[in-house]
Amino acid sequence: MKKSLLLSVVLLACSTFFADAEEGMYPISEIGRLNLKAKGLEIDPSDIYDPNKISLIDGICRVNGCTGSFVSPNGLIITNHHCAYRAIQSASSPDKDYLKDGFQAKTQTAEIPAKGYTVRITESYRDVSKDVLSVVKPTMSSADRTKAISKRRKELEQAAEAKNPGKRAEVAEMFTGKTYVLFLYTYIRDVRLVFAPPSSVGNFGGDVDNWEWPRHTGDFSLMRAYVAPDGSTATYAKENVPYKPKRHIKVSSRGVDEEDFVFLLGYPGRTSRHKTAAFLEYEKNVRLPYIVDLYQWQIREMEATGANNRAVALKHSSRSRSLANVEKRSRGQLKGLARKQLVEARMAQEAKLQKFIESDSDRKQKYGSLLDDIAGVYAEMAQAAPYENDVANLVNACRSLNFAFTIYDAAVERQRPDIDRESRYMDRNIDQTVRRMMLAQRDLHVPTDKRMLHGMLKRLANHKEEIKNVAFLKQLNSDAFAVDQVIDRLFNNSKMHDEDAVKKFLQMTPKQLAASDDAMIKIVVQLYPEYKRLREKNKEREGKLGQLYGSLIEVKAEFMRTDFVPDANATLRMTFGRVRRYSPEDGVIKTPITTLKGVIDKTTGKEPFVTPQKILDMYAKKDFGKFTHPKTGQVPVAILYSTDTTGGNSGSPILNAKGELVGVNFDRAFEATINDFAWNKDYSRSIGVDIRYVLWITGKVYGANHLLKEMGVE
């Protein structure tokens, strides 16, 4: 892996040391600088990452939006149950209900293709900031700036992929509007499901316990990566062979104890720690409340239609679970924003920054209006949000409209040169886009979809002014608009529920689509100009904010004279901390290791607190084998630790001081949901499943001892 200029990116702020560094999702280029030995690491930091040799990071992969680690020389991956959920769901039916009963492949041939899944392994990275920003001209409009940057990023990606056949390239924005790094990934497209515990283990506690501590969820699964017999990346084929990772992570069945040093490697998705108070206000007053309200409603609709029908509930399960996850996280963030007064705290920091800016006339000239300008963009967004959010979610909530939209949008975009297309429709991405859509299409349930459309139209009818000139939507202003009849007519005259028809539509030109008699497509054609207008508007905002945030980083670096790391952006990061208790509120202390006894105590026999009989029996017999926690005499279930994580860290290996896998990260405590905006050593706690529970469940309870053996655990 090539050394890069990333260091200078991170250390823009002419800093000397990283302070008390439990905060921080460090880019791997920084690992050598963190003084990890003094913090508790027992191996050499170069064993975690060294550009010139194989190291731990070669055993880490990205599994769709999650993280995983290779735990055998034969491509076996450990990740979360919730990360493999979609794969388990698509393989399930009411009579082969792997979600309910769990799944175990006794041999490799019995492993099930995880449709729509990909695995990536970071191979190299290179700073390309100069190159990307060289295309920006001072005279450009904000929207043109966004487009120029995006085009240059795509060109660099294409060039890197052409030079490295079979690899996947991605230019990641590290500091908004300022720094860009090109990552090269090995890209695996044949992924299979190997083992999943029943949901009563993998999702024990369900949404009630999600984002909470204490926790008793066995949130893990095993998958396997496959490649063509010659080692090249290939889509599913029977003759494919298990991928041989350069390195796999050693599993330690000894586990951990309170105050032990741990670290995580993974692909954290997105944080917003370098954003302003105006952004936080926007989140607090506009976006998060909207999400909570919208998702609660959608979940209710799915619950209603799936209530007495397992086949329907299965169709909804993945979607409703991910909505519930984000809904609850958003509530946690709202609570945290209010309780910790984060907006006020950031305002106070910005007041100091403003003073610093104004203390020098050149600086004032350059940055004087910066914070106000950023606030101006968010104010404009806040004002437009009620209508724009509803329009955006119209083609999201209603899946049929979503498919019709994707079909038409793809057809329109295909008319343009590849490089100018929206990224998801470029030649290098279209297969994946279509695959995902077809997977969602299989889960379409028309009665639910009708309710979704009904609800969104009702919301849109409130925006009388905005919809006045929007084709199709303007009818909502008329008293004669008979919503139920219109919806029935739409669904009766559309083929979005028919897989073959959808595939045919995907081949058509915009003209052919416009001439088709599919009612959903017809509506999309009418609505399309409005979506194009909003897309352009978003590019303009993105361009403005990109430029402004780029300047903010510059002046903050001058001001703070201390270090900061880039926000999470789904690139490989390292974070470290300790297995540690915390006090979420006055008078309450929560200890960091839960046990099987807690599972039994919580079990009511009613969802989501049902426990398989086998586990109850083994618990009664204290049949724990060597997976007992010496201090409690119990099987440990989950652990809590002070690392810095966010979504995307799901599935990250929890590694001990020796770099051995002792658990799998899957969540954060409720208070830690505001990690995404501000980390704090008092409340930021991540949650993982203890490896001893994983091994006990897999081997002792479900008898998959061949997998333990494969992981080197005898």
Q: Contact positions toward ligand ASP, by CB under 6 A? A: 325, 645-647, 649-650, 666-668
Tokens found for residue 330: 């958003």
In terms of CB distance, is 129 or 645 closer to ligand ASP? 645
In terms of CB distance, is 88 or 398 closer to ligand ASP? 88
CB 639 within 8 A of CB 686: no
Tokens found for residue 316: 């909804």
In terms of CB distance, is 78 or 545 closer to ligand ASP? 78
Give the Å distances, CA to CA, from 227 to 177, 422, 526, 543: 37, 29, 44, 40
Least distance to ligand ASP, CB of residue 305, Å = 25
Residue 159, by phi and psi: left (phi above 0), alpha (psi -120 to 50) or beta?
A: alpha
CB 255 within 8 A of CB 264: no
Cα–Cα distance between 425 and 336 in angstroms, integer? 38
One DSSP character per residue, 105-173 reads -SSGGGPEE-TT--EEEEEEEEE-HHHHHTT--TT--HHHHHHHHHHHHHHHHHHHHHHSTTEEEEEEE
CB 181 within 8 A of CB 128: yes
In terms of CB distance, is 306 or 648 closer to ligand ASP? 648
**Rounded to the nearest 5°, which phi and psi values hold at 125?**
-150, 160
Rounded to the nearest 10°, the torsion over CA 550, 168, 650, 224 is -170
**Rounded to the nearest 5°, which phi and psi values hold at 106?**
-75, -25
Least distance to ligand ASP, CB of residue 74, Å = 27
248 is annotated as an active-site residue: no
Least distance to ligand ASP, CB of residue 649, Å = 6
Tokens found for residue 565: 């790391």
In terms of CB distance, is 539 or 668 closer to ligand ASP? 668
Least distance to ligand ASP, CB of residue 646, Å = 5
Cα–Cα distance between 562 and 567 in angstroms, integer? 16
- Per annotation, catalytic residue among 81, 82, 216, 316: 82
In terms of CB distance, is 243 or 295 closer to ligand ASP? 295
Amino acid at 241: V
Least distance to ligand ASP, CB of residue 329, Å = 6
In terms of CB distance, is 668 or 700 closer to ligand ASP? 668
Cα–Cα distance between 454 and 457 in angstroms, integer? 5
76-79/221-227 β-pairing: antiparallel
In terms of CB distance, is 281 or 667 closer to ligand ASP? 667
Least distance to ligand ASP, CB of residue 567, Å = 14
Own/partner pairs, 42-47, CB within 8 angstroms, 24+ separation: 42/657, 42/658, 43/657, 43/658, 43/659, 47/659
In terms of CB distance, is 118 or 652 closer to ligand ASP? 652
In terms of CB distance, is 603 or 675 closer to ligand ASP? 675
Pick from 521, 442, 454: which is nearest to 482 by CA? 454
One DSSP character per residue, 326-370 reads HHHHHHHHHHHHHHTTHHHHHHHHHHHHHHHHHTSHHHHHHHTTH
Question: ∠ CA(581), CA(587), CA(593), 5° rounding?
Answer: 25
686-690/221-227 β-pairing: unpaired
Least distance to ligand ASP, CB of residue 99, Å = 18
650 is annotated as an active-site residue: yes
661-668/653-655 β-pairing: antiparallel
Least distance to ligand ASP, CB of residue 667, Å = 4
82 is annotated as an active-site residue: yes
Question: Which residue do the tokens 């793809």 mark?
Answer: 410
259 CB neighbour count, 10 Å cutoff: 12
CB 412 within 8 A of CB 422: no
Least distance to ligand ASP, CB of residue 485, Å = 40
- Per annotation, catalytic residue among 50, 127, 219, 518: 219
- Per annotation, catalytic residue among 650, 652, 684, 686: 650
Least distance to ligand ASP, CB of residue 643, Å = 10
SS3 category, 449: helix
DSSP class of 701: I
Amino acid at 665: N
In terms of CB distance, is 332 or 699 closer to ligand ASP? 332
In terms of CB distance, is 70 or 666 closer to ligand ASP? 666
- Position closest to ligand ASP via CB: 647
DSSP class of 249: P
Tokens found for residue 646: 């966010």
Tokens found for residue 389: 């959010």
Least distance to ligand ASP, CB of residue 650, Å = 4
Least distance to ligand ASP, CB of residue 651, Å = 9
* Residues noted as catalytic: 82, 219, 650
